[in-house]
Structure formats: structure tokens, C-alpha cells
């Protein structure tokens, strides 16, 4: 996902269809306000959420949205789908088509899903270098043994991608239920890891991302904006 940070002169030139010389003139004539201040430096860098006004006309006025959803099973983590209902269809908010998904869940997985219109925030949260932990509760068809713990901790080789998974923490809660913490998000990763033991996953629920826990007041399909405390929990990752 592309970061939307851009130099003010490039932005104005593209938005207004004028050349750089005319942009300089606009600024010299104090006709541009950036976040309420007269813009006088073409090198200023703005982003999607900078308020820009030219000659009293608003060119950009968007506020960031950060949403958590309790994704139900059977709904696709996508913005469009021909066959299934999408998580966007479940939202009832004016800006829903501006939002994108921060780390998908499979069709038959449930739990914490984040959505935002802030691509810098989502990119950092999902970037492999940041190693943000994601906690899942997994229900299995067959009982587990202690050897699963070391196999998850050592990492597993996936020949298709030619990668070895990063160390993952597996905690056995009961014979058929485990908690797994991953710092990456490979395709069907948890199902494939349990697949090594020929143990099908029958339930997969994401409990938290980077320490932010799904609000238990949210019923499947419900969502709410992140509050200041939620954003604070994630601040160290973004």
C-alpha cells in the first residue's frame, strides 16, 4: 500500500492542474492554508489528513478512521466479492468505502479485524519488520500433544514459499483448544501449521492484535471506532 505523503507543491500542481511556477505564485500571494496556517514553503509535506484550502475552497478535508470489528464466520475479509457478503457490507457508516482491511481473516475465521482509511498506520501495523503479535484461539478436531509447542516455536518450512515461519508461541488450553501467537501472517498460516500434524482446525478466532483485544461487547458482525485508549495500545507499533 502506498504512503500518501506528498510535497505541497506537487499536490497543488496536480489538484489544480497548474505548473510549479504558478504554485509558487499562489503561495507568495498567501492564498493557500495548510491546517489553518498560511503555507509559504513548497517543500512542506502533507498527507491524506492534512486540511488544505485554496482561495477559500477546501481541497482536502478527510479525518482518519480506525475501526474494530468482530468478524463473523462466513463473511469475506475483502472490500468486494461476487459470492459472499463482505466485512464492508456489514458496516453502517458514511466512509465505509474509503476503508481498507488491516490483516485479513479467512472466510471461516472470526474475531478481531481492523479497518482504516490511514494507509501509513495499516502499513506499519502489518509490516513484517514490526513483528506485531497476533493472538488466535484455535479449536482442533483432534487432541494436541506437547510436541506441537516446540514445532511452533522452532518454525516450519513451507516449501511453496520457500520460507521458514518465525517462532510462534503455542499454549495448550485443553486437549482441543490452543492459543497461538504469530508475528507474521502467511497464507492460511495457522491451518497449515496444524496441518503438519494432520489435525484440522475447526475454529479460528483472532483475540488481539499488538495487545489490542477485541471488545467483548461487540457481537459477531458489530464494529466500533477505536477510542484513544485503543490507539494508545497500538502506538508502539505504528
- 191 sits near ligand URA (criterion: CB under 6 A): yes
Question: What three-state secondary structure class fits 30?
Answer: coil
- 190 sits near ligand URA (criterion: CB under 6 A): yes
- 69 sits near ligand URA (criterion: CB under 6 A): no
Annotated catalytic residue: which of 47, 81, 89, 106?
A: 106
- 109 sits near ligand URA (criterion: CB under 6 A): yes
CB of 30 to ligand URA, least distance (A): 52
Q: Is 82 a catalytic residue?
A: no
Place of cell 494436541: 144
53-65 burial, b for 16+ CB within 10 Å, e for fewer? bbeeeebbeeeeb
- 137 sits near ligand URA (criterion: CB under 6 A): no
Number of residues that bind ligand URA (CB under 6 A): 8
Q: What is the DSSP string of 164-183?
A: EPPP-EEEEEETTEEEEEES
- 84 sits near ligand URA (criterion: CB under 6 A): no
Would you say the C-alpha torsion 151, 152, 154, 160 has a positive or negative sign? Answer: positive
Query: Which among 34, 42, 46, 35 is positioned nearest to 9, based on CA atoms?
Result: 42
What is the rounded distance in angstroms from the CA atom of residue 122 to the CA atom of residue 126? 6
- 102 sits near ligand URA (criterion: CB under 6 A): no
What is the rounded distance in angstroms from the CA atom of residue 136 to the CA atom of residue 113? 12
159-176 burial, b for 16+ CB within 10 Å, e for fewer? eeeeeebeebebeeeeeb
- 51 sits near ligand URA (criterion: CB under 6 A): no
CB of 190 to ligand URA, least distance (A): 3
- Candidates 47, 106, 169, 184: give the one binding ligand URA (CB under 6 A): 106
Binding mask 157-176 for ligand URA (x = CB under 6 A): --------------------
Q: Which is nearer to ligand URA, 68 or 204 (CB)?
A: 204
**Among all residues, which ones are annotated catalytic?**
106
Amino acid at each position: 500500500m502506498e504512503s500518501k505523503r506528498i510535497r505541497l507543491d506537487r499536490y497543488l500542481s496536480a489538484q489544480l492542474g497548474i505548473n510549479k511556477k504558478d504554485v509558487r505564485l499562489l503561495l507568495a500571494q498567501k492564498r493557500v492554508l495548510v491546517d489553518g496556517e498560511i503555507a509559504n514553503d513548497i517543500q512542506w509535506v502533507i498527507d491524506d489528513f492534512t486540511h488544505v484550502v485554496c482561495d477559500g475552497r477546501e481541497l482536502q478535508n478527510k479525518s482518519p478512521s480506525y475501526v474494530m470489528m468482530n468478524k463473523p464466520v462466513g463473511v469475506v475479509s475483502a472490500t468486494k466479492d461476487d459470492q459472499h457478503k463482505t466485512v464492508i457490507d456489514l458496516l453502517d457508516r458514511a466512509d465505509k468505502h474509503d476503508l481498507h482491511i488491516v490483516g485479513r481473516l479467512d472466510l471461516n475465521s472470526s474475531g478481531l479485524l481492523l479497518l482504516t482509511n490511514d494507509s501509513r498506520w495499516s502499513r506499519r501495523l502489518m509490516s513484517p519488520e514490526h513483528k506485531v503479535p497476533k493472538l488466535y484461539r484455535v479449536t482442533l478436531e483432534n487432541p494436541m500433544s506437547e510436541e506441537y509447542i516446540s514445532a511452533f516455536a522452532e518454525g516450519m518450512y513451507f516449501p511453496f514459499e520457500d520460507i521458514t515461519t518465525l517462532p510462534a508461541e503455542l499454549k495448550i488450553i485443553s486437549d482441543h483448544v490452543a492459543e497461538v501467537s504469530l508475528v507474521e501472517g502467511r497464507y492460511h498460516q495457522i491451518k497449515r501449521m496444524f496441518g503438519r500434524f494432520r489435525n484440522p482446525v475447526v475454529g479460528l478466532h483472532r483475540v488481539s492484535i499488538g495487545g489490542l483485544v477485541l471488545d467483548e461487547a461487540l457481537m459477531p458482525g458489530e464494529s466500533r471506532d477505536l477510542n484513544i485508549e485503543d490507539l494508545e495500545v497500538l502506538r508502539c507499533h505504528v
